[in-house]
Amino acid sequence: MSLVSLSSQTPLLDAIQEPSDLRGLSDTDLLGLAGELRSETIDVVSQTGGHLGSSLGVIELTVAIHAVFDTPRDKLIWDVGHQCYPHKLLTGRREAMRTLRKKGGASGFTRRAESAHDPFGAAHSSTSISAGLGFAVARDLGADIGDVICVIGDGALSAGMAFEAINNAGALGRRIFVILNDNAMSISPPTGALSTHLDRLAAPVRAGSGDAAPAGVTSLFEQMGFAYHGPVDGHDLTGLLDTLRHLRQTADGPVLLHAITRKGAGYVHAERAADKLHGVSPFDVATGTQAKARAVGPSFTKVFATALVAEAEQDPRIVAITAAMAGGTGIDIFARSFPDRTFDVGIAEQHAVTFAAGLAAGGLRPFCAIYSTFLQRAYDQIVHDVALQGLPVRFAIDRAGLVGADGPTHAGSFDIGYLANLPGFTVMAASDEAELVHMVATAAAHDAGPIAFRYPRGEGSGIDMPVRGTVLPIGRGRVIETGSTVALLSFGTRLGQCLAARQALEAQGISVTVADARFAKPLDKALIEDLVSRHKLLVTLEEGATGGFGALVLHHLAARGMLDGRCGLRTMTLPDSFISHASPDEMYAAARLNAEHIERLVLGALAHSRRRHALPLPYDGTNGTVNGSRTIAAE
């Protein structure tokens, strides 16, 4: 028996298998369905964890859109996608949502491979209007596509890409519906002049005095070629249904519907929370209390923030920049001590990087704190505005490596390669929380050019912490344990797994050196050459894609002529694939980067070397033959 059939509290929702089922319901039934959908969303997330507040804020919008439009022929695109849980519950994935964000379960974001009702995957913001305009043009050129509906939050509009799309869509004049889900709350509180403009437009609805913009306030969207409607109450389902039906019948170009919503709407514990319960662990529905495992050590994010505050107390030139992720990056902690030296620029990573470059050029010491996966969106600015000019911007790269339930869209897989190939860049990775403190101090003191340090999501190992960081010698690693046969050279937090693998290998009589590279650029060339010279096998490890630290080590050794049979060499990186969401441990197991995989690789490499050392080959008349056959030298 299915999970759906067991439900007795949601008779209307039980009857919905596809969005087309909504179109046979009366408006009164749709009101009842919205209530059931809200309860189901709360119940699901209470068991799985995930993005709660944003999903509760779009319950009525989700029901109205699916009741009025003909999805999936009509294309519904959710910007970011973290508010798509109600959408998934209505599009044939109700049972799958009980496995939300678990290995093999439903994604926490829209995903094309998961359903025809997810026409465009998203987990980063501000992409919906660009993608939607692409669908609209494809339709007008003959594709079997109906209407296009893009739901974008007010925070997502702070990114330049959204403005670029609005500019293009307004000029092209194609029929497209953009629904602005304005809840005055991104992950962090909204900032910027656009937020102020939206507040003025939304004032009557938020005050409960009507649904029209105040007299004399002309919307930015009208000036850019959109037919502007609203603001409307995004929780008035009857009003939404009437408005959407009217717009669908009459629209002849780009339309923007401004809907005022409340993040966390309908769940008292979310509405009272400062972050509106944006992202939660499993929780008790009655009390809102979240179940959280006891931490072994402090989170890397908090360690970074605390260390940055300590440095800023000694240096008034230190400032901090975040792109709408103050809480996620720990910059909110810095802001409490130094509000005048903290800058949240909104969801605008490109601007954040060039803004930081300007600050550096002006003589300050900016720390630009951005997730690895979000920093990708500012790569041209990193190259052109920072690296080319040699400006000492400090990049604090959170969420390095695999991140767990958010999956591949949030995995910090590529920053080692895309930063370490830039001239003049210094690139570090913390192996533990104490090392992170030292790297914050190192970055603060480094004025010779851009410098980056990466660290993972989650908690540290609970080791003793320094009161304040010590500046590290640039380009110098460290040896943790000394052996003679195998050298494990780790860049980042796989160091703990290397130590565990060493213990297993030593028990089998294999002597192992473990070293912490600390730097991918500049490399500790002396350390690397010493390890190669003194061991039969060198293995590099990193929480990043191919083309990163291991590639730099191989390139250096090749240039020095040290790949010519002196020592066996192996690199361990993330695989050449995107790893689906699961727990971090499960993801690293899938990536084959845990201690057992290190042990297995070492044993296999040593066995391979022994075989090659005495491998008989047919006599071919060349030198080096012994009794009619020859041998190949050890690697």
- Spatial separation of the C-alpha atoms in residues 54 and 123, rounded to whole Å: 13
Query: Is position 418 annotated in a ligand binding site?
Result: no
Amino acid, single-letter form, for residue 366: P
Distance between CA atoms of residues 304 and 300, nearest Å? 6
User: For the chain, how are helix, strand and coil distributed in percent, rounded to 5?
Assistant: 40, 15, 40
Nearest-angstrom CA–CA distance, 326 and 393: 18
Dump strand ranges (E) for 212-267.
Answer: 227-233, 254-260
- 56 burial type by CB count under 10 A (0-12 exposed, 13-18 middle, 19+ buried): buried
Q: For residues 367 and 264, what is the distance between their CA atoms, to the nearest angstrom?
A: 32
Q: Which two tokens stand for residue 572?
A: 């361990």
Retrieve residue 285's tokens: 């529905």
Distance, CA of 80 to CA of 156 (rounded, Å): 8
- Residue 267 known to bind ligand: yes
- Segment holding 341, helix H or strand E: none
User: What residues does 228 pair with on adjacent strands?
Assistant: 256
Q: What is the DSSP letter of 283?
A: B
Residue 274 CA, chain-centre distance (Å), reads 22
Active-site residue among 40, 60, 349, 433? 349
| Given the residues 38, 263, 399, 454, the one annotated as active site | 263
Answer yes or no: is 82 a known binding residue. Answer: yes
β-bridge mates for residue 179, sequence order: 151, 257
- Residues 582 and 103 sit within 8 Å (Cβ to Cβ): yes
356 labelled ligand-binding: no
CA distances from 524 to 108, 209, 532, 552 (A): 40, 66, 13, 11
Tokens of 379: 């790569």
Q: Does the annotation count 263 as an active-site position?
A: yes
Angle at 364 between CA 362 and CA 366, to 5 degrees: 115
183 is in an annotated binding site: yes
Residue 123, marked binder: yes
Name the DSSP class of 410. Answer: G
How many whole angstroms separate alpha carbon 72 and alpha carbon 621? Answer: 70
349 noted as active-site residue: yes
Q: Which amino acid is at 447?
A: D
| Residue 155 in marked binding region | yes
Task: Quote the radius of gyration of the chain (alpha carbons, Å).
Answer: 28
In degrees, rounded to 5, the angle at the alpha carbon of residue 273 between the alpha carbons of residues 270 and 279 is: 65
Length of the chain equals: 635
Return the SS3 of 631. Answer: coil
Which residue of the set 88, 94, 377, 566 is catalytic?
A: 377
The closest of 489, 613, 595 to 540, measured between CA atoms, is 489
The CA distance from 531 to 537, in Å, is 9
Q: Tell me the one-letter amino acid at 380.
A: D
Rounded Cα distance, 145 and 139, in Å: 5
Tell me the C-alpha distance between 581 and 81, whole Å: 15
Instruction: Tell me how many helices (H) and strands (E) the chain has.
Output: 25, 22
Q: Strands, DSSP E only, in 48-98?
A: 50-51, 75-78
Per the DSSP assignment, residues forming a β-bridge with 617 are 630
- In contact, 298 and 460? CB cutoff 8 Å: yes
The phi, psi pair for 227, rounded to 5°, reads -80, 115
DSSP 352-381: HHHHHHHHHHTT-EEEEEEEHHHHGGGHHH
d(CA 9, CA 202) in angstroms, rounded, equals 35
Q: Which secondary-structure segment (H or E) carries 377?
A: none
Known binding site: residues? 82, 123-125, 154-156, 183, 267, 349
Known binding site for Mg(2+): residues? 154, 183
Q: What positions carry a catalytic annotation?
A: 263, 349, 377
Known binding site for thiamine diphosphate: residues? 82, 123-125, 155-156, 183, 267, 349
